[in-house]
């Protein structure tokens, strides 16, 4: 089973850049998208419901903002989209799919920046992390295998971004954000990519300024985390920097 996550930075834009070709060639069984930025009725029919895929979209109330989507070759047994908190649910950040005892959460974690890039949304971001972690713990406690994929909007360690010293006060690498990632790992979640690859320079997002992607001045902020039971299933984890169409690239695991 191949599970892939990709922040597409606008699905309509990605569709114009070959998203469907990538989807069909991906060999994925489950694909989670973040930052869809569209309601389902705004998507071209072939993007909304491509042949051979079951889809589910969770848009934000605010037009052109946030939103997640799930593409699955296997019909999920159940879908959940709520954290039970309106301030989180209205932003369209979560879809959880169940396949037997495998639970896959596709998540677009908040950015900590406010309108003026002032870190004012960090408290909201951390509250979202904690609320989701608590929800996923209920699955773990009943013996489910839990995989969490998406844009976490946080680089965990210095190895996970090109310029750590310059970004110590930047949302995405603030100490309290990094500590929250560490809390998830200390609770048992496994950063699947780092199980297989400890090398530097492995990034998943690049600024669209100053030829950052060409120079590989990036951040690793997209992850696939697995609880201990699910981590035993993971045979390979990967980053696909050669896939374009967004300022992020896909990440995934083979189970």
- CA pair distance 43, 24, nearest whole angstrom: 18
Handedness of CA 245, 108, 119, 239 (dihedral sign): negative
Average pLDDT over residues 111-140: 94
pLDDT at 47: 98
Is the separation of the CB atoms in 32 and 55 below 8 Å? no
Q: pLDDT digits over 200-228, tens only?
A: 999 999 999 989 999 999 999 999 999 99
User: In the chain, what is the straight-line distance between the N-terminal and C-terminal CA atoms, in Å?
Assistant: 5
Averaged confidence pLDDT in the chain: 97
Lowest-pLDDT range of 5-19, 55-69, 105-119: 105-119
Provide mean pLDDT across the span 101-117: 93
* pLDDT value at residue 85: 97
Tokens representing 60 are 């934000």
Per CATH, the homologous superfamily of domain 2-254 is Endonuclease/exonuclease/phosphatase (3.60.10.10)
Q: Give the span between the Cα atoms of 150 and 6, in whole angstroms.
A: 7
Q: Which two tokens stand for residue 47?
A: 């993007």
Instruction: Give long-range contacts, CB 8 A cutoff, 24+ apart: 160-168.
Output: 160/203, 160/219, 160/220, 160/221, 161/203, 161/218, 161/219, 161/220, 162/201, 162/203, 162/216, 162/217, 162/218, 162/219, 163/217
Q: Cα separations (Å) of 95 from 23, 59, 231?
A: 19, 10, 20
pLDDT, tens digit, 9 for 90 and up, residues 14-61: 999 999 999 999 999 999 999 999 999 999 999 999 999 999 999 999
CA distance 182 to 35: 24
Mean pLDDT, to the nearest integer, of 75-86?
98
**Is pLDDT above 90 for 191?**
yes
Query: In which band, very low, low, confident or very high, does the pLDDT at 103 lie, cut at 50, 70 and 90?
Result: very high
Average pLDDT over residues 172-176: 97
Q: Is 230's pLDDT higher than 80? A: yes
What share of the chain in percent tops pLDDT 70?
Answer: 100
Q: pLDDT band for position 66 (50/70/90)? A: very high
Give the pLDDT score at 173: 98
**Where exactly are the structural domains of the chain?**
2-254
Q: Tell me what the mean pLDDT of segment 81-89 comes to.
A: 97
Which are the contacts of 141, defined by CB distance < 8 A and separation ≥ 6? Answer: none
What amino acid positions are annotated as catalytic residues? 151
Q: What is the pLDDT of residue 116?
A: 77
Residue 202: per-residue pLDDT: 98
Question: What's the pLDDT at 23?
Answer: 98
> Taking 80 as the threshold, does the pLDDT of residue 238 lie above it?
yes
User: Is the predicted pLDDT of residue 117 greater than 80, yes or no?
Assistant: no
Q: Is the pLDDT of residue 118 over 90?
A: no
Going along 64-204, which residue ranges are E strands? 68-72, 78-80, 94-99, 102-108, 145-151, 190-191
């Amino acid at each position: 089973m191949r599970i892939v996550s990709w922040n597409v930075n606008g699905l309509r834009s990605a569709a114009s850049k070959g998203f469907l070709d990538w989807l069909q060639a991906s060999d994925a069984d489950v694909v989670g998208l973040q930052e869809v930025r569209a309601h389902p009725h705004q998507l071209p029919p072939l993007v909304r419901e491509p042949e051979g895929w079951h889809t589910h979209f969770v848009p934000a109330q605010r037009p052109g903002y946030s939103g997640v989507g799930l593409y699955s070759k296997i019909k999920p047994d159940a879908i959940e989209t709520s954290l039970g908190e309106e301030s989180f649910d209205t932003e369209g950040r979560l879809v959880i799919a169940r396949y037997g005892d495998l639970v896959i959460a596709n998540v677009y974690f908040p950015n900590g920046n406010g309108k003026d890039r002032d870190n004012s949304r960090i408290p909201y971001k951390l509250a979202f992390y904690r609320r989701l972690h608590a929800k996923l713990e209920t699955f773990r406690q009943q013996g489910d295998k839990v995989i969490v994929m998406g844009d976490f909007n946080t680089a965990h360690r210095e190895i996970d971004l090109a310029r750590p010293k310059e970004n110590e006060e930047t949302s995405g690498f603030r100490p309290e954000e990094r500590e929250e990632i560490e809390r998830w790992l200390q609770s048992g979640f496994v950063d699947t990519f780092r199980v297989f690859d400890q090398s530097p320079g492995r990034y998943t997002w690049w600024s669209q300024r100053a030829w950052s992607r060409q120079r590989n001045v990036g951040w690793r902020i997209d992850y696939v985390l697995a609880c201990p039971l699910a981590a035993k299933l993971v045979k390979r984890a990967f980053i696909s920097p050669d896939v374009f169409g967004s300022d992020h690239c896909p990440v995934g695991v083979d189970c």
